[in-house]
Amino acid sequence: MENSSETISKEKKKSNKFLVVNLVLVGLFTVSLITNQVVFSKTKKLLGINSAVSDISAKLKKIIGGNTKLTGNIAEDAVKISFHQGVPDIYGTEMGVSFEEVQQAMDIMKQYDPGYGSNKISLNADEMKRYIDVNIKISCEYCCGAKSIIFENGEAACGCAHSQAMRGLAAYLIRNHGGEFTNDQMLRELAIWKGRYFPKQMIQKVTEQLQSGKYTPDVASLLLDLKLPKYSEEQKSAPLPSDIKDLPGMVGGC
């Protein structure tokens, strides 16, 4: 029969063994967490997520500065007109979308696309007339190259995520807030999101049209309720600032 001292010694050895095993497991778990974080960080970098967030936030928000009043400087005004921040009025909180989370917003809005959506909105005849009137005036030319995001009969002209999101938002607003938005105001909401999808191209497009005084429907909708300053002839021929030219061409998956 073992004496008490031998029993205590064995218990201590067993306890020490369990302690070592636990320390090894904790160490492995810690290494795993660090490895996952590194891999996730590298993946974000490869996918361009960091560039989209940092470039736009750092360069454009400095120009906007929380002030939507136009300044008379074409380059600055083009940014203010094209690049919106925060949560959209009326539908933003309701849908859970923000201009700061472009990909997440696209995923939410595109589910309502009458053609491709996982939660399709079916429109009646009167709603479809409005849907066509709004969507026929805007395109996703920087991604899929379509002249409009729909055909004249209302069917989807492109299956890219950007156009799905714009069509989904249009259908959602017509169905749920048709009395709060005119067709032009709905087009403006789509154009605002287009500015977040394609910041570089839309800022350049707005700049060029402010210089020429000739506007496409999407840019014209962005000018609703805005009083444009009188721009000098020198500004009308000035090139885009280099920091705007360096912005990302597309945010969110196509």
- 180-189 pLDDT, tens digit per residue, is 999 999 999 9
Buried b (16+ CB within 10 A) or exposed e, 102-123: beebbbbbbbbbbbbbeeebeb
Joined together, the tokens standing for residue 22 give 């636990």
DSSP per residue, 192-224: HHHHHHSHHHHHHHHHHHHHH----HHHHHHTT
So what's the pLDDT on residue 253? 63
- For residue 14, give the 3-state DSSP assignment: helix
The residue among 165, 182, 164, 154 whose CA lies nearest residue 90 is 182
pLDDT digits (tens, 9 = 90+) for 151-178: 999 999 989 999 999 999 999 999 999 9
Q: What pLDDT is stored for residue 44 in this prediction?
A: 38
- Range with the lowest mean pLDDT among 5-9, 77-81, 107-111, 220-224? 5-9
Burial of residue 29 (CB within 10 Å: 0-12, 13-18, 19+) is exposed
**Residue ranges per structural domain of the chain:** 1-47, 68-245
Which pLDDT score is estimated for 143?
79
| Residue 10 or 137, more confident | 137
- Helix intervals (H) in 124-214: 125-135, 161-177, 183-197, 199-212
The residue written with tokens 């249009």 in the block is 170
Mean pLDDT of the chain: 80
At 192-232, the pLDDT tens digits run: 999 999 998 999 999 999 999 999 999 999 999 999 998 88
Q: Please tell me whether the overall predicted TM-score, pTM, comes out greater than 0.85 for this model.
A: no
